[in-house]
Chains A and B, each alone.
Chain A
Amino acid sequence: MSLLDYFRVSRRNSAAIAKERLQILVAHERAERNRPSYLPMMQKELLEVVQKYVDVDQNAITINVEKDDRHEILELNILLPEDQPQPRKVGRG
């Protein structure tokens, strides 16, 4: 393999890298876009309820909606403090 070929191979990767980066980014951004608009408010209110009982901080809650052809999954993740049981997952089919 000549030196020229070496450069050719490394260049061939740049379009592939671009494609891979875009695929990840676009999938992520589409998911964000398709989130229901009530989600941030719901997340805030849920956190307030949890905070009544457990001392969790602002970032301890994540909420996510996934859609496929047949159903929607609302995934709610609450990370409890160290001395509490493992994080709970509540799902809805």
Chain B
Amino acid sequence: MARTIVITSGKGGVGKTTTAASIAMGLAQKGHRTAVIDFDVGLRNLDLLMGCERRVVYDFVNVINGEAKINQALIRDKRSENLFILPASQTRDKDSLTQDGVGRVLEDLSKNFDYIVCDSPAGIERGATLAMYYADDAIVVTNPEISSVRDSDRMLGILASKSRRAEENDEPIREYLLLSRYSPKRVHNGDMLSVDDVQEILSTNLLGVIPESQSVLNASNAGTPIIMDQSSDAGQAYLDVVSRYLGDDLPQRFIELKKRSLFGRLFGG
């Protein structure tokens, strides 16, 4: 039986797809068979971040409608043999996703995978609610910024009330907070909410803090999940996130302001 993880946020542009790509790749690299599904029908982007946009033949909606077998639609990642991508449909509208259809695909995948990562679209429309409906775990991606925090709180409320687990009175979805685009310097200067502030407001288990980093854009430009760039802070932070998700107890590494050396201070390094 696979464990289904939804990457959600409510607000757009906070780093859901970046997170889904990196967590899926991280789980695969640790030896777990992982499928990552793009739920953003009509606006797919996971294929781009995973670098497989030119290998898309069939998509999620084709599988739901029985126009393709799941194995025909899954794209095997070229870097990790444990990782498969199920792209969203680019042409159909969001109503082509049905609760039964999504349930059937997830059940099918569940037989062959350890983890199913669901990349939710922004908003609270059908794609987003279906991405979370069958989840066992939820990673709520939040930026340290008021509208993102507010939307995350709203998503936490929906997770607690409108999922299969909630409807069937099952054990609730395990919720995790992932704070991304964090700038310790701006927090230090007092113009960004700190990790403690956000946690105090949302009171959700902190899975990790991803520092704001230029390398995230470089990675998406290249179609490489940022977790594969272990020379970058953000890549290392995602690796920590995956390890923590799998049960390791690691300290948060990127929330303190970096101490600059005398050399750095003199030469602006």
Residues of A within 8 A of B (CB): 8, 11-16, 18-19, 21-23, 25-26, 29-30, 33
Contacts and interface: CB of A to CB of B under 8 A. Distances in A.
A14 B146 CA distance: 11
A93 to B, nearest CB: 26
B240 interface: no
What bracket does the count of chain B residues touching chain A fall in?
10 to 19
A12 B189 contact: yes
Interface of B: 145-146, 149-150, 153-154, 157, 161, 187, 189-194, 197, 200-202
Nearest to B145: A18
B191 A15 contact: yes
User: Lowest 6 A-B CB distances belong to which pairs?
Assistant: A12-B190, A19-B197, A14-B191, A11-B191, A33-B157, A26-B153
A11 B188 CA distance: 10
16 contacts: A8-B190, A12-B189, A12-B191, A13-B190, A14-B191, A15-B191, A15-B193, A18-B197, A21-B146, A22-B193, A22-B201, A26-B149, A26-B202, A29-B154, A29-B157, A30-B153
Chain A binding surface SS class: helix
Most B CB contacts (10 A, CB to CB) among A12, A15, A26, A29 go to: A15
Contacts of A12: 189-191
Contact of A22 (B149, B154, B187, B189): B149
B189 A8 contact: yes
A92 B150 CA distance: 32
B212 to A, nearest CB: 15
A14 B161 CA distance: 33
B187 A25 contact: no
Contacts of A13: 190
Contacts of B187: 15
A33 B153 CA distance: 11
Contacts of B192: 15
Chain B binding surface SS class: helix
Given A26-B201, A29-B153, A11 B190 contact: yes
Contacts of A25: 150
Contacts of B149: 22, 26
A30 B189 contact: no
Contact of A15 (B150, B154, B197): B197
B154 to A, nearest CB: 7
Contacts of B201: 19, 22-23, 26
A33 to B, nearest CB: 5
A18 B198 CA distance: 10
A8 B191 CA distance: 9
A14 B197 contact: no
B157 A15 contact: no
Contacts of B157: 29-30, 33
Contacts of A15: 187, 190-194, 197
A57 to B, nearest CB: 32
Contacts of B150: 22, 25-26, 29
